[in-house]
Structure 1
Amino acid sequence: MINGYQNILHQSPSKMRLRYADSMVYSAKKSADNALLGSAYLSKGIVYYGRKQQDKAMDNYLIANNYISKTDDLYLKYKVKYHIALSKLYIGFYDEAISLLRECTDYYKDHNPRPYLNSLHSLGLSYNKSGDYGLCTQTNILGIAECLRLDQPEMKPYFLHSQGINEYFLTNYSQSIKNIKSSLDVIKDNSDFANVAIGNFYLGKDYWALGKKQKAVEYFTRVDKIFNEKHYLRPDLRQSFELLISYFRQQKDVDSQLYYIKQLLKADTLLTETSRYIAGKIHKEYDTKELVSQMDKLQSENDDLTQEMVWEKNYDWISAILIFVLFMLITWLTFRHYRNKTLFKKRYEEYVSQIGKPKNILKNDNEKLPLKEINAETVTAILKQLDKFERDKKFLERDWKQGSLAAYLNSNSNYLALIIKHHRAQNFSEYINGLRVDYIVALLQKEKKYRNYTNNALAKEAGFSSTQRFANAFLTKMGIPVIYFVAQLKKED
């Protein structure tokens, strides 16, 4: 019965699918079989995901995982991982999504062609979102080749679509347009409104970057149409409304400005309700108060004055306010510069004064206080491995995560986190980043050639995945920027 409902679900119009998914769950409950229950709840989550109701999809994925984890069904276990990875990708947890999708591609490669290609496609999207455009390109090229090898031509447009988006970030706008346009017809035929919206958004961005703003507006309005019809919007697609507001402000089209300001407010509400994480991370050019204020102002002034007249009337006031704001900004920046300079100098002198002095290392003190949660022998074994990990400078290798280090030490993630917290007085990120920063500080002190390295080169030397992460970790650990630290070393020379 469950398989029957599932087959009907796949052949039904989207508005009927939730009904059949509920029937799957109802039948599965009668069976009391963990695999059938997990499969039913997973199907229900997938239906919600197809509707782009991310919160309800995740609820059902987690229920499914609870049942499936009690079985030996590897296919279902990886199917849950895949769909949880998609939700993590949507809300911005790109590293976690990449980790799960790598596992899925490794498993499905020799078992199931279509899930393998789906996982590969999502992995490419995750690389793009994390800023690794090179890996995204490699993954898309591999995906197109695998479509041919596995005789799955229907997936090729999705890899072209993904690569088109990636080409935008590589500033290859013409190639981006070519790839996305070549994929959209097939994606439309699949009724995949989400990827149609995404494709139109990046076509608009391409034309905007090429200076063809009127052409770009055509594609942004298609994103708006899908938003109205399907209530679908991804965080990056929000920028469509910002650019439309900017365009119609330049055109002095007040009615269109008002409409897209309202759409932007609706978009923010939708994204906030979908995920608090998204609401906290999105960079907003217009916050809600500014949007409401701007909307009210335009509505009141639209009856009496054109925007040109308003600008003329208030020109003197605006100029005076702007000059005052600039003056205050320059004053504040100057104050902050000298304050930071003094603070950095003090911290550097404190650091130099501590060189050569014995350090009170917290990890040795804490060894006297055993962890109640973990067997003492286990703690001792893991600490010995951590000491070896530090001596061998394994921390210089890239992409250490708490889970991967736990696996390397033949431990589990929770034990490792507790031991590092207790014996190193740090969380995992602080521990790894601190080791790397200490290593770079020692190099800079001992070998002068490293003082001529760029921040990017130093970041790679220490195993950081990006220059910004290295700079942030150095500032957190040392209390001063790496550039200032190197400059002081050079002055001493």
Structure 2
Amino acid sequence: MTLYLFEYTMQIKKQQKFLMTNKSSIFLILFLVLQFPVFSQQKGFYLPDSLKEKSYDYLNNKIDLYEEDTVRALFYLDSYLSKAKLENNLNEAVNAYSNAIFFVSDSLKPVYADSIVAAAMMTNDAPVIGSAYISKGNFYYSIKDYVQALNFYLKASDYISNSNDNYLKYELKYHIAGIKIHLGFNDEALVLLKECVDFFKKYDEYDYQRGYLNSLHSLGLVYNRLGKYDLSTETNEFALKEAKRLNVELTQNYIVHSEGINQYFKKNYSKAIQNIQQALPAIIRNNDFANETVGYFYIGKCYWDQGQQEKALPYFKKVDRVFSEKKYIRPDLRENYELLVGYYKEKGDVKNQLYYINRLMKADSVLNTNFKYMSGKIHKEYDTKALRQAKQEIEKQLAGKEKTTLLLYFSLAVFFFLTLYFFYRYYSNQKLYRQKFEELMGAEKEKPKAIVVEKEDEEKKGLDINPDVVALILKELEKFENRKKFLEKDLTLVNLASAFNTNSNYLSKVINHYRNKNYNTYLNDLRIDYIVELLKSQSRYRNYTIKALADESGFSTPQHFSKAFFASTGIYPSYFLNELNKEQI
């Protein structure tokens, strides 16, 4: 298929260069977008009379219907764009170019992504702008630049969140769920996807049906990531049934692919291989190198786990080929290189072992760049230091300087001392926590003594506040503590000062001087002292969750409560509860 965008590529590049040096060229960007030719195989396309009266929804449905028949899809896309130009409808022109991005060459897709947003900005229509940012995010997601994809999804949210377009809100929610799955935040993705399924299934329009099926497919994937394999199978079977009912063949293949991976985790290796191989041709035709790679990896894993290493190797090498070409890697695919390194190490093939160690280090470099927040969660057989040591050892071995025994003893020694260190830290912490617990149990809560403020003392203390004002603030603090007003949520220094009929500066100075702590520590300590006494004196509170205890003591989140509890007592609330319950037994 030939698209008549190619002849305009050089012209576009020249205009882009001009735009970069001219900050006032947003209008030229819009002109650039609207001067693109139509996308059919014939130049100078004219909207057929038979389609002039057809609605945009009709044309859009035709584009979706023939998405796998590019020639027919482009005919309706041409018609859609021509109709928008004839009617001078900028909003629908933006929609046309959003569709067009799926048909143009990869080199032009970034141009389209930028141009869609530029044109949308000219409409001054928040949902249209939000939709354009979603399209741009989708482009970056398709090339696996998840950081950029998330940036543009968040920009879309700025425009969509206050609009009345519920479809766009849930479309964005679906894409955010996809990012969360990629980052490993599967529990959060699960909540979003359930909401998406419930929303999209209510409507019969094509876009809603695709949203419904895509959400179901992702839901099955999340259940797999959470280790709920039977629930994943149940969801996939239902999704496949729905995809067949709605006659969406491509989605059927993705569901079969997903269930194949799930079957691997259920150790049904033959079924896993069958499913993945059945789905791969459609996925390859869809130019989805990411799911193609994942399919190769799990076919290889199926053979590997059955002891058929020689059958597994070609699939693992296909994963490496895609990584070389596309730089695509994700945490579970990292094992691909660990297995290859181990295989060639066992065979004594140090040349290949060194090659795949280098590839593993390259994969780690990409993962560490894109998954810094996940670095503590990714299980690694080789950390960076060990990889470097292994690499140096093999290079020396290839040069005739073998030091295998020394490296082995060194690794064992490091492992031994690290084990001792962690055991020492664990038991030291347990001893310290027990000591803190006993101190808490033995401590009696002391009420702050009433303080009489003398003028001379006040002047010596350098508070630079009228002693009468200080006395008034101290009196208010005493009432505040006795009446347990500190249990109220969202107590800021400013609103507490307002309640005391003083200013925040005076209140802060008085608390710092007479309570020997800043406002936040003062407030947190009051709340923690209260909840500690409550837990010591009333056993029913020991059955509360951390969240419920946080709420009871005035904290807005369990995390804030746990952090404040540790800062005040030196132990975590979960430890304190466990020890209390042990003593009760």
- Do the structures match in fold with TM over 0.5? yes
Partner of 1:15: 107
Counterparts of 1:87-486 in structure 2, within 5 Å, are: 87-111=179-203, 112-304=208-400, 311=404, 314=405, 364=484, 366-367=486-487, 371-372=491-492, 420=550, 423-425=553-555, 427-428=557-558, 477-479=573-575
Q: Is the 8 A contact 1:362 1:423 kept in 2?
A: no
RMSD of aligned Cα (Å): 4.3
2:261 and 2:103 map into 1 onto residues whose CA distance is: 31
Seen in structure 2, the aligned counterparts of structure 1 residues 300 and 428 have a Cα distance that, compared at 3 Å, is same
1:349 and 1:90 map into 2 onto residues whose CA distance is: 45
Q: Is the 8 A contact 1:366 1:422 kept in 2?
A: no
Count, aligned residues: 413
1:336 Cα deviation (Å)? 7.3
Larger radius of gyration: 2
Seen in structure 2, the aligned counterparts of structure 1 residues 36 and 228 have a Cα distance that, compared at 3 Å, is same
Seen in structure 2, the aligned counterparts of structure 1 residues 375 and 251 have a Cα distance that, compared at 3 Å, is same
User: Does 2:117 correspond to 1:25?
Assistant: yes
Q: Is the 8 A contact 2:489 2:556 kept in 1?
A: no
Q: Is the 8 A contact 1:165 1:180 kept in 2?
A: yes
User: Does 2:154 correspond to 1:34?
Assistant: no
Seen in structure 2, the aligned counterparts of structure 1 residues 39 and 248 have a Cα distance that, compared at 3 Å, is same
User: Does 2:146 correspond to 1:54?
Assistant: yes
1:15 Cα deviation (Å)? 3.0
Seen in structure 2, the aligned counterparts of structure 1 residues 212 and 485 have a Cα distance that, compared at 3 Å, is farther
2:345 and 2:316 map into 1 onto residues whose CA distance is: 15
Deviation string 1:71-115 (CA, Å, 9 cap, x unpaired) is 211111111111111111101111111111111111111221111
SS at match of 1:479: helix
Q: Is the 8 A contact 1:254 1:302 kept in 2?
A: yes
Which has the larger displacement, 287-296 or 262-271? 287-296
1:297 and 1:57 map into 2 onto residues whose CA distance is: 40
Seen in structure 2, the aligned counterparts of structure 1 residues 310 and 342 have a Cα distance that, compared at 3 Å, is closer
SS at match of 1:114: helix
1:256 and 1:15 map into 2 onto residues whose CA distance is: 35
SS at match of 2:163: coil
Q: Is the 8 A contact 1:197 1:223 kept in 2?
A: yes
Seen in structure 2, the aligned counterparts of structure 1 residues 328 and 193 have a Cα distance that, compared at 3 Å, is closer
2:285 and 2:303 map into 1 onto residues whose CA distance is: 24
1:66 and 1:89 map into 2 onto residues whose CA distance is: 22
Seen in structure 2, the aligned counterparts of structure 1 residues 350 and 190 have a Cα distance that, compared at 3 Å, is same
1:230 Cα deviation (Å)? 1.3
| Aligned counterpart for 1:74 among listed residues 154, 166, 186 | 166
Seen in structure 2, the aligned counterparts of structure 1 residues 343 and 41 have a Cα distance that, compared at 3 Å, is closer
1:367 Cα deviation (Å)? 3.3
1:319 and 1:174 map into 2 onto residues whose CA distance is: 38
2:306 and 2:358 map into 1 onto residues whose CA distance is: 28
Q: Is the 8 A contact 2:487 2:553 kept in 1?
A: yes
1:159 Cα deviation (Å)? 1.2
Seen in structure 2, the aligned counterparts of structure 1 residues 24 and 338 have a Cα distance that, compared at 3 Å, is closer
1:252 and 1:347 map into 2 onto residues whose CA distance is: 55
Q: Is the 8 A contact 1:127 1:136 kept in 2?
A: yes
Q: Is the 8 A contact 1:98 1:126 kept in 2?
A: yes
Please list every run of 5 or more consecutive structure 2 residues that lacks an aligned counterpart in the other structure.
1-92, 448-480, 497-539, 563-570
1:362 and 1:81 map into 2 onto residues whose CA distance is: 47
1:369 and 1:48 map into 2 onto residues whose CA distance is: 42
1:189 and 1:270 map into 2 onto residues whose CA distance is: 27
2:274 and 2:399 map into 1 onto residues whose CA distance is: 44
Amino acid at match of 1:423: S
Matched residues, percent identical? 38
Partner of 2:89: none
